[in-house]
Structure 1
């Protein structure tokens, strides 16, 4: 039987090369797209999966629900809770703290920056990662220990045999000598450690004594990971964390360490297994590894739909081609072939074509995967341990999906009816309806993907270019100046203002893409009672307004000449000053229930220590993710006359030079004063880029899927149009004999060919609208779903479809009636 099947396939390829080529090309493209997108989805779902014993590792997240603000969840938690967690939950096998940091290694006179962690000696008790060199039991025992990843060791030394060597590292302006005690082999698959654990060092005793995140509830500076004894312990601990907070974090309101009398009402913790954090982290602050599960699933769905489109295309072409083999089937049945034998043969032919298409699809996957991985910015590669079993399963599935119906139709022809007819059978109305339904379904899927691609592209562009409440053009922002020396802060500000091309420079304590750390509860005695609102705090200096250019909605900005504009400091509190002028944002106006920005002026909001008189209201400034709502904010003024800033961030507005030139000038001026701290002046858009890059990458995948879907759909339409053109030559000849013009014939044929595409547009639009409405709802700011996006996608699909069939349409319309009728 196999030789017969192979001979039949070769014969059909020679007799009908167009149909066979379209079939194989469509199936190969569908299988290739499916494999590529399946590899990408597998990559996302395997995040952290290669960490040893990952099922027993969890991260602690912190939840805060304060008056007047939306509940928030942060991956950074207070380290003050860890000793109590160990005492109260014996299910915890071990725990480790990770403080993300940038470490600059000085070697041969050059500085190289690496992402790393300051951590505990218990790191290897939680993350059982192997060391290529060194002993994990004591690799972090000494205070000056440093563990390099294999990649870092090769970058610095060109070898992994580096244990015992010393390196000089600069961390936040502090230089220290470290001894390399190990070389870490990071997980092979995607994980947060693979991206960020280039160097590991010990958390210093000074940090533990001085930083508030080690000493107080509600203050955070890093992540906490636990290894539990059993997976069931995770749910048990989660169920008891509310009581844990109520017991351990409670204290009087004047206790600087505690979280108040009923901390469980506003503070909470939760455990999240590392296997789930990839998708959970989309709504979590202080973490950038999140991915939208719905988007990832949609990418996988596009792969399945591409495969389904290819199979539908094969059914369409095979059923159209089947009528050309009717007489062959009739003759073979007359000579004794059974329907079962013919069915097996035709299924075998379909299997051979599927195998050839699978080989083509694998070649396309191998060819396109590096480009797609580069497009996504992910280290995805073709893994044959995954691909070959998938292909082994795809071949029989696709053979059945693409071959069963045509084989059933072919093997079911009755010899007498076929041989008695003067014309080849057309397959009947049901077959024609099936072909039109399949074409409509193909284009409906393709149009739906195109609409989603347009919406994602527009939303991403909108977020990148949206008004953030400050003037982004001509603005550069540097790193934190890590010093509390007021004289050094003044010198730095003067040096930046003296750089040629600088028009304004000022300090602030918040920045684009900065965590929201400074929060306090303020009260206002409204006519309806006392209102409490959690406000995000910032302190800004002279030049800040000119640098950022926020929009003033009411009142005024700070004036250094006004004494009460000077903000809170230890000296002012000691001097008995209790009232300070402040500026709030529009969200704070709404949170306090003021009727308008102007109505907020001169109102007093207060904490236990200070009273804040509102002298100005600005529009909302967005420094965080576009998915998160802007927080109510209060801003104090610091003229740098009495108190320093807390690690201020410089913002510089410039004119007359390019961004690159200005950044170099600013970095040079910074290095002259602070050689041990990098200035790294970059544009605000660059700092916010991580919020958009994920959606941009996945939008490119949607574009890739949309293009593939349209190509497959057009292949099916082209094949159907070719078959229809061959069958309607006689009809067109009669019409032209009866007086029909070429233009009328073109309109008629285009109408017939494009009718399934029009139906597809009607089917695709509501489905795409519902899907994109749900996706957009995750954003605090979003584009409207206007009809123009849907019309653009539908018009593009119709234009592409028309171009696909125009060749057959013109050839039919130009055919000479006499030749057409004579040929018939």
Structure 2
């Protein structure tokens, strides 16, 4: 029986090739979109799943409010891990990581700049089950001057991982390290990305066992089997009582007094499996994802699949009149309603199977392009598991049944006598359902279109907002920390002589992703914590202001002509406001010179720089202080500003020549500040592009459904159209007659979509401290696009019907 159903269904689909092509095409687009988004979402949800200890591994977060600043850190203090494992048996082990800057690594004639380097405790391989393929996991990182590197990194320097063991490499032309282990590359779906690990014993701050105030280490705890997250309440209460409170008291204030002033120091533990999607703190080891994007893409996938299923229902219903007599004859010959329903459902399932096959082929073809768009190494092999196999087998059945149920029951409900007499009864409920489906389709499409417009408008706003500095025409030379002081001075002078160069500066602190350093400043020599200002401290040279094209609002910037500038400070407007000085220039503030803030160094405020965005637009402009980096002192980056007329590539060649003259053989690594700035919003830009892509596909699939519904209406009103034309109706009036009802549905969808789109995009914009105001034209533009596309779709069928021969229409009826 089933074989017979399938054979008849196949013949029917083959007979109606145009209908089958549109139906299979619409479902294939919907399923392909779902598969692509599923690959993206599964990749986002797969982080840390490679780690069998992930459920027992936690990272300590720090939340600090002090001196008018709030800090949410992914790091904690140096002695914390050792104190916890010593006092709390529920914790099996701990490891600290500290991400460093770039390192120049040399081995013989081979040298590369390594970007993902961590200091790590020797317990790294006990906490994280990364496989060591050469050397000893137990001996790795146990002594000063040792390191471990990933397999890919080892193969850059040596022929095999085994050949790397016990070899010595030179870091920054200064530090010799012996390789004690080579490990498998850390999986891409991890919040870790270290290609090289240096022994923590070489990091000076790690040896400060009493420094509970400096939060620079990513600290991970491995709980024992059976221990739960509830242990952390007891752990952190004990830390506050035994370590934090005594440490704060050394600063001349009790923790209770500090909290009365509104300040606090709090710790929490986050499971590492939640870090990628739920954590966006300062000092993350690498850029994380966002659970909101997972929700957005999942909703988009659901929207498109629903639209595709609605299309199927509309297209199948549009064919009902043509198949009504077939149903009537089958019923007269004894077919029961159940067998007819089974037949139509089998037709539906076959359609979905064909669509799924087409979708898989399409996904295979476009996946490389989608992977580049999403910036993820996506592969269909990630779907080769029993869960997906079950899902793939269920999709044709579930989608086929869901999408084909209404047409099946609709067609099988025809009365044979009425059908054979040519009197098909069409209920109001069926018409209402089809109208509701069209409204639902375009409501979802307009929401996607509006979201795309808002995202792109926000990104445009970010890229063109007055930032307080000029990011254009600034070449950043990385890794200048390898230069000796004499080399740094010489290369800076020679770069200033190059044609087209306006200014040159050396600093590791930039208003794009770079290092940061936070410390308090006090308005008086006494440690008045209630008046302290906790702010970022940037070391810059005298050329920084001109190179960045920042503006002074009062006083002056640093200068070589003033020897006292080594004890001077320049504040931004936010910092000056927090000190409450009416005229800050000339005032004296104080900086602690030791960890316990007992000795205070006086600093003269010589100027105030206009506020500029030194973090991303999700954060308000905070307080910042510039300190003078005296001539001859090196920094991690050299900044070269050129004129707008300067050829960037020619400038790069000239600068590279100067670099190779002074440091021959060392890699020349550079970037442009505008590119680095744009990379801060790379994830948002990718989301915008992906949403735009799927919004376009959603509109396309929705128009297929509208096409089917118009075809249905035209087919039902063929005689009416013929009579109107015989009586003198023009083609325009016929097009208007057929179009107005559908355009009303689309306009209704727009009215429903607007408040939903406004609410959803308002929630998304709340992530940004500096954001656009949603304006009426954004919703109007999205609605206008939807109306235009819908009108074009409707008019195509309507004009075709209006231009048909009325005699032929009346004869066939």
TM-score, L = length of structure 2: 0.90
Instruction: Label 1:177 to 1:540 Cα distance change in 2 as closer, same or farther (>3 A).
Output: closer
Give the Cα–Cα distance (whole angstroms) in 1 for the partners of residues 751 and 133 of structure 2.
60
Find the partner of 1:632 among 623, 627, 633: 623
1:223 aligned partner: 218
Asked whether the equivalents of residues 480 and 636 of structure 2 are also in contact (C-alpha less than 8 Å), the reply is: yes
2:741 counterpart of 1:741: no
1:381 aligned partner: 379
2:332 counterpart of 1:342: no
Counterparts of residues 353-392 of structure 1 (less than 5 Å): 353-382=351-380, 383-385=383-385, 386-392=387-393
Give the deviation of 1:458 after TM superposition.
Answer: 2.4
Give the deviation of 1:770 after TM superposition.
Answer: 0.7
Cα-to-partner distance string for 1:174-232 (whole Å, 9 max, x where unaligned): 342533x4332235561133xx2323332344x33x67877633334442222111464
Give the Cα–Cα distance (whole angstroms) in 2 for the partners of residues 258 and 157 of structure 1.
55
Counterparts of residues 654-693 of structure 1 (less than 5 Å): 654-655=642-643, 657-673=646-662, 680-693=669-682
Cα-to-partner distance string for 1:8-61 (whole Å, 9 max, x where unaligned): 223322443222222211112111111111121111011122123111111122
1:591 aligned partner: 578
Counterparts of residues 53-452 of structure 1 (less than 5 Å): 53-69=53-69, 71-101=70-100, 102-106=102-106, 109-114=109-114, 115-141=116-142, 143-157=144-158, 159-162=160-163, 164=165, 166=167, 168-170=169-171, 172-179=172-179, 181-186=180-185, 188=187, 190-193=189-192, 196-205=193-202, 207-208=203-204, 216-230=211-225, 232-251=227-246, 265-382=263-380, 383-385=383-385, 386-420=387-421, 422-423=422-423, 425=424, 427-452=426-451
Asked whether the equivalents of residues 34 and 307 of structure 1 are also in contact (C-alpha less than 8 Å), the reply is: yes
SS at match of 2:148: strand
Give the Cα–Cα distance (whole angstroms) in 2 for the partners of residues 119 and 227 of structure 1.
15
Q: Calculate the aligned-residue CA RMSD, in Å.
A: 3.2
Asked whether the equivalents of residues 502 and 653 of structure 1 are also in contact (C-alpha less than 8 Å), the reply is: yes
Give the Cα–Cα distance (whole angstroms) in 2 for the partners of residues 658 and 324 of structure 1.
68
Give the Cα–Cα distance (whole angstroms) in 2 for the partners of residues 363 and 634 of structure 1.
57
SS at match of 1:583: strand
Cα-to-partner distance string for 1:47-90 (whole Å, 9 max, x where unaligned): 12212311111112222211322x22122333232322222222
Counterparts of residues 516-555 of structure 1 (less than 5 Å): 516-523=516-523, 531-555=531-555
Give the deviation of 1:343 after TM superposition.
Answer: 1.8
Instruction: Label 1:524 to 1:200 Cα distance change in 2 as closer, same or farther (>3 A).
Output: closer
Give the deviation of 1:402 after TM superposition.
Answer: 0.7
Give the deviation of 1:294 after TM superposition.
Answer: 0.9
Give the Cα–Cα distance (whole angstroms) in 1 for the partners of residues 701 and 731 of structure 2.
30
2:499 counterpart of 1:510: no
Give the deviation of 1:318 after TM superposition.
Answer: 1.7
SS at match of 2:681: helix
Give the Cα–Cα distance (whole angstroms) in 2 for the partners of residues 665 and 80 of structure 1.
48
Give the deviation of 1:727 after TM superposition.
Answer: 2.4
Give the deviation of 1:108 after TM superposition.
Answer: 6.4
Give the Cα–Cα distance (whole angstroms) in 2 for the partners of residues 135 and 615 of structure 1.
56
Instruction: Label 1:73 to 1:305 Cα distance change in 2 as closer, same or farther (>3 A).
Output: same
Give the Cα–Cα distance (whole angstroms) in 1 for the partners of residues 555 and 808 of structure 2.
86
Give the Cα–Cα distance (whole angstroms) in 1 for the partners of residues 752 and 522 of structure 2.
53
Counterparts of residues 787-798 of structure 1 (less than 5 Å): 787-798=776-787
Give the deviation of 1:775 after TM superposition.
Answer: 0.6
SS at match of 1:567: helix
1:574 aligned partner: none
Cα-to-partner distance string for 1:678-707 (whole Å, 9 max, x where unaligned): 663322223334421111222222122212
SS at match of 1:275: helix
Any unmatched runs of 5+ in structure 1? 569-579
Give the Cα–Cα distance (whole angstroms) in 1 for the partners of residues 234 and 652 of structure 2.
51
Give the deviation of 1:647 after TM superposition.
Answer: 4.0
2:706 aligned partner: 717
SS at match of 1:379: coil
Give the Cα–Cα distance (whole angstroms) in 2 for the partners of residues 258 and 61 of structure 1.
24
Asked whether the equivalents of residues 318 and 406 of structure 1 are also in contact (C-alpha less than 8 Å), the reply is: yes
Between 548-557 and 230-239, the greater mean CA deviation after superposition: 230-239
Between 498-507 and 705-714, the greater mean CA deviation after superposition: 498-507
Instruction: Label 1:212 to 1:143 Cα distance change in 2 as closer, same or farther (>3 A).
Output: closer
Give the Cα–Cα distance (whole angstroms) in 2 for the partners of residues 186 and 762 of structure 1.
52
Asked whether the equivalents of residues 520 and 532 of structure 2 are also in contact (C-alpha less than 8 Å), the reply is: no
Asked whether the equivalents of residues 150 and 160 of structure 1 are also in contact (C-alpha less than 8 Å), the reply is: yes
Give the Cα–Cα distance (whole angstroms) in 1 for the partners of residues 254 and 19 of structure 2.
73
2:696 counterpart of 1:707: yes
Cα-to-partner distance string for 1:764-812 (whole Å, 9 max, x where unaligned): 1211111111011011211221222222222222222223233212222
Give the Cα–Cα distance (whole angstroms) in 1 for the partners of residues 13 and 483 of structure 2.
80
Asked whether the equivalents of residues 660 and 666 of structure 2 are also in contact (C-alpha less than 8 Å), the reply is: yes
Give the Cα–Cα distance (whole angstroms) in 2 for the partners of residues 254 and 649 of structure 1.
39
TM-score, L = length of structure 1: 0.88
Asked whether the equivalents of residues 60 and 267 of structure 2 are also in contact (C-alpha less than 8 Å), the reply is: yes
Counterparts of residues 449-488 of structure 1 (less than 5 Å): 449-479=448-478, 481-482=480-481
Counterparts of residues 6-25 of structure 1 (less than 5 Å): 6-25=6-25
Find the partner of 1:623 among 592, 614, 620: 614
Give the Cα–Cα distance (whole angstroms) in 2 for the partners of residues 554 and 357 of structure 1.
68
Instruction: Label 1:822 to 1:593 Cα distance change in 2 as closer, same or farther (>3 A).
Output: farther
Give the Cα–Cα distance (whole angstroms) in 2 for the partners of residues 444 and 136 of structure 1.
57
Instruction: Label 1:325 to 1:821 Cα distance change in 2 as closer, same or farther (>3 A).
Output: closer
2:597 aligned partner: none
